[in-house]
Structure formats: structure tokens, C-alpha cells
Amino acid sequence: MTGTIAGGPSLTQRIAEARDSIAAQTGDPVELGLILGSGLGGLAEAVEEAVIIPYAKIAGMPVSTAPSHAGELVLGRLFGRRVALMRGRLHLYEGWTAREVALPVYLLRALGAEGLVVTNAAGALNAEFRPGEVMLIEDHLNFTGTNPLTGADEPALGPRFPDMSRAYDPDWRAAVAEAARTAGLAHRAGIYAGIAGPSLETSAERRWLRASGADAVGMSTVIEVIAAVHAGMRVLGLSAITNAATGGPEQRPDTIEDVLANAEIAGRVIARLLEVTLPRF
């Protein structure tokens, strides 16, 4: 699992090959891309007229190995929009490079998606947040130690120095907040901190992340969002709060079983939020 080496295909070439392999199976245009995080794959079941393509059947596509990540691309209609939905994502902790983690985002853009909805499972650094709740991501902190734009510049993908000051589209965030109020759906809003993982944070790290301004922490999303902004996509981010991660004296050990169970609870709220919001985009 290595990135592009000297003499190997560029990221631009790999994306074109992946796009062409998908086009051979479905030629319908895509309006919106979605990435589903841990425990959130159930949203794919709401896709109508679905065409399901395993990542292994897509040319040059890395294959997800994380628990609860099915590793398949689902194309069809979701809440009235033509979507390409990633049921499972790639993570740095699986051994993929930042560019490989970003490749699916560029692929979604190549399929026609002008926007990206990214979801994840996250621990609550903010003591006011509770497992099972949903956080609308306002901004992020990249503590992964890497960036998908590091290395050779490929102008066909986007500008060398993309502005990240409004990475999460303000108008889309406002639309979600308004739709949530109208539908009576409670949610939080805050800053997401991305780390590499796979070990969970120490209590001291959690306190430090909170002091840095983060409300929730997870092992994904920031690499994908950098790539999406680089590619000129609008972005909406939603976190399923799965565990308390304050790092205080009351901190309890976390289990993957609890994380997935709480992600499923929050996932139902995320699905409802998207149902009332996507038609507004």
C-alpha cells in the first residue's frame, strides 16, 4: 500500500482510469458525493435505482479494511439527488498515504459531483456533547501530520495553494441548521480535530485538543475535505458523536462496540437531516 513512485502513474492518471472503469458500468451523471463513516453505512440502503460497485472492481481504487466499512461505491438517487455514495472510506491508519485517502474524493469530482457530504464517527471533547448526538462541522484542525497536496503538483486537480478559510460551506451549514429547526431535529455545531490513529487519544491529548479549540475528535475527514476544497467542491460535514472523550478524571475506556452502537443512533438523525436538507442544495 504505497503512493505513486517515480515512473508510476500520476494521481490524475489513476483517477481517469477509475472514472473510466465506473463509466463502463453506469453512465449517469452525479450531482453530489457522500462519504459514510464508521457505523453510518445504513444510509446507502435509502439509495434508489442503486448500482453497487465494490472498490476492488474499480481500477486503481484502494480497498477499505476498517471495521464496519463495506468498501463499495453506491450510485443512484438519494432524496431526489443523483449521488455517488462511498460506503466505507480509507484511513491513514490502514497504511494508505494521504494521496490515496484523497483519491476517492477526486474520483467523485471526476464523476461530476460538485459537492461533498462527509460523515464520521467522533469522540466528544466538549463535555456538553453526548453520545448519539450529531455535530455539524464548522471547521477542522488537521493533526494528522500529513496533507494530500504534499508532493508533486498536479494542476489538473486544483490550485497549488487552495484557500481553506471556508472549507465547510457556510450556506450549506446554514441550510442544515434551518432545516433542522424546521424539522425539530436537535444537533450540535463545532470544530472537528483529525488525528491519524488507530490508537485512541490519551487523556492528556484529549485535554490538549480541547484546549486547542476542538469539540470532537476522529481519525478521518480532514484529508478528504482538503482534497474536496482543492478540487473546487462545496463541503458539508456531519459527525456522529459516539463517545465521551474529555480526558477528565471521569474518563472511561472506550470500546468499538459502544462506538458503533452510538454511531447507528446518530446515523438515523444524520439520515433525517439529509432528507430534509438535500433538496435545498
198 burial type by CB count under 10 A (0-12 exposed, 13-18 middle, 19+ buried): exposed
- Domain-embedded: residue 4: no
Residue 263 sits in a domain whose CATH number is 3.40.50.1580
At 102-141, the pLDDT tens digits run 999 999 999 999 999 999 999 999 999 999 999 999 999 9
- Domain-embedded: residue 36: yes
- Domain-embedded: residue 5: no
- Domain-embedded: residue 126: yes
pLDDT at position 200 over 50: yes
Q: Give the model's confidence band at 65: pLDDT under 50 very low, under 70 low, under 90 confident, else very high.
A: low
Q: Report the DSSP beta bridge partners of residue 77.
A: 48, 82
pLDDT (0 to 100) of residue 228:
98
pLDDT at position 151 over 80: yes
Q: pTM of the prediction?
A: 0.93
| Cα angle, residue 195 at apex, residues 192 and 200 outer, rounded to 5° | 105
- Domain-embedded: residue 3: no
Cβ atoms of 157 and 99 within 8 Å: the answer is: no
The total of structural domains in the chain comes to: 1
- Domain-embedded: residue 262: yes
- Domain-embedded: residue 174: yes
- Domain-embedded: residue 2: no
pLDDT (0 to 100) of residue 66:
63
Q: What is the 3-state secondary structure (H, E, C) of the chain?
A: CCCCCCCCCCHHHHHHHHHHHHHCCCCCCCCEEEEECCCCHHHHHHCEEEEEEEHHHCCCCCCCCCCCCCCEEEEEEECCEEEEEEECCCCHHHCCCHHHHHHHHHHHHHCCCCEEEEEEEEEECCCCCCCCCEEEEEEEEECCCCCCCCCCCCCCCCCCCCCCCCCCCHHHHHHHHHHHHHHCCCCEEEEEEECCCCCCCCHHHHHHHHHCCCCEEECCCHHHHHHHHHCCCEEEEEEEEEEECCCCCCCCCCCHHHHHHHHHHHHHHHHHHHHHHHHHC
At 154-177, the pLDDT tens digits run 999 999 999 999 999 999 999 999
Tally of CB atoms within 10 A around 162:
15
pLDDT (0 to 100) of residue 72:
92
The parent domain of residue 46 ranges over 11-280
